[in-house]
Each structure stands twice: as C-alpha cells, then as structure tokens.
Amino acid sequence: MSEFKDFGPLVGAIDQGTSSSRFLLFASNTAELLAFHQVEFQSIYPKEGWVEQDPKTLLSSVYQCMEQTLQSCKELNINPTDIKAVGITNQRETTVVWDKVTGEPLHNAIVWLDTRTKSTVDKIVSKNSKSTLENVRSICGLPVNTYFSAVKLRWLIDNSEPVRKAV
C-alpha cells in the first residue's frame, strides 16, 4: 500500500505541448504535485511558415516522461497502482497521420502554427459566404484558417504520397 494513502487516488496528466512533453502526478485529495518529468524537443522548419515535428520523437518524449515520473514514484515510495486516472492535453490543432496497420507515421506532424495552407484557406474563404463559414465554425468550433486541421489534412492528401495511398 502506498504511503500517500491520505492523498487519495493519484491522477496523472500527460501534457504534450509544442516545445515539450510532461507527465505530472497529482494527489487527488490535495491537488499536490507529487512527481513530474519534462522533455523538450525541437521543431523542424523545412520552409518559411512551415513548422513540423517528428511524431516518433513526440511519442518517445511522452514515454520517457512517464517512465521517469514512475521511477520517481518508486524513489518516493509511491505505488504506481494508486494512479487511477490519466488526463491528456495536446498541441491544439497539430495534425499527425499514422498508418492504421503498422502505427508508423506517414508524414511529420504539421504543427498548429504552420501556415503552409494559407492559399487553400484563402480559396475556401473567397468561394463561400460569410454565413457558410460561420456555419463551419459553429459545427466544428474553429474558423476556417491555417490553424484548422481539415486544411492540413487536405494538404497532406495532395502533397504526401504515403498519405494519399493510405486514404
């Protein structure tokens, strides 16, 4: 049994952000942060306005954070089986496409602040009424802009052979 019984069940949080991943472990009764680990990583800038990340690096950084936090738990005599829930936060509209059979990424992640789809967005905006664009926003919660994952997916289908073959 854990020495942290008074803290109640433990809650983990995966925070996979734009420049780092973290795994944090909290006591549910007190909200006290008991342990955490953070790993920073680099973005890739293949062209002006383009921002990508290696999906395997992102996943590996999350695993590393979880492993190191669980190691800290052992050192603090916290029983990992006391973790009863894990929440996940992610990078907004960063888009990753994986092979459904192998689990391998088909392209680098296109980060939420990437602007490569500006011409597609401009075309969509110019060809649709304000009410249609507002309807899209009301349905999905986002305006049609380069932030929106749908236009990133369109770009991937049009420009990445592995993605096009997978669709």
Domains and CATH numbers, the chain: 1-48+55-91 (3.30.420.40), 93-166 (no CATH)
Predicted confidence at residue 1, as pLDDT, reads: 42
- 154 vs 102: CA distance, rounded Å: 22
Confidence (pTM): 0.88
From the first residue on, what is the mean pLDDT of each consecutive set of 10 residues in the chain (167 residues)? Answer: 66 98 95 96 98 98 98 90 95 95 97 97 97 95 93 97 96
Write down the number of H helices and E strands in the chain. Answer: 5, 6
Distances (CA, A) of 59 to 12, 64, 75, 109, 128: 17, 9, 25, 11, 38
Contacts of 50 (CB under 8 A, 6+ apart): 110, 114, 115, 116
The closest alpha carbon to 73, from 27, 106, 112, 25, belongs to 25
Residue 2 is predicted with a pLDDT of 46
The confidence score (pLDDT) of residue 134 equals 96
